[in-house]
Structure 1
């Protein structure tokens, strides 16, 4: 087994969603901390490559979603939970001609904690959004900082 963090294995497809569960508790900062750690440690552009067995792109899809700053935690549920993106801006061109953009103001290796979040100018009171929000286009803005926020959006 590879990619072990305690008893959690990032190399095992059955547990990809586990670091995101902190978003559903009073500790969403832990989702941001651990998803960044996982990308930084287990998915590098070097000989180590990918930790675990890449079956049909599932592990790569986790990396792409996480790097963009959101992830579909529950298969079949049209929701995405938010985490610390690697990029300061990501734009998805949608088939309906619209675009979904995620802007992470100040995002960096040290500014990995979400201070606040808004969708289309409205403050989010939770760290997830619907698939409908994505396909209708729009902008998700994350204000990033170095210090984790204990209770946040």
Structure 2
């Protein structure tokens, strides 16, 4: 089992870290999150031959708990102007931060991690059509911001 856990860590550790950073966690929080994901996964009985969905589900839930526990970093009522001098990554980061936590998470899981609508729906625990509605609303917000 340990070899399977190590293999899963090698395959998904950096991706889980990057996912949690994109959700808005600090470096330390994301590092703690990766550790917590693997601790929780090792305590449960999962199929280590294909752990991706389960690991991201744990990461998502853990990150949402952390984000809910602290004050919002960005007031969602405020608008953002993207200056031409900013790096493209910073622009995208600001745009994503203007979304609600759930919207940001769904977009990252779909487009960054390459999960399907069905996989995201299972991971978050909402119907697939709800996930599609969340994506539609999030994209509309992003179009307004740009």
Q: TM-score surpassing 0.5?
A: no
Length-normalised TM-score, structure 1: 0.29
Greater fraction strand: 1
Which structure has the greater CA radius of gyration? 2
Length-normalised TM-score, structure 2: 0.30
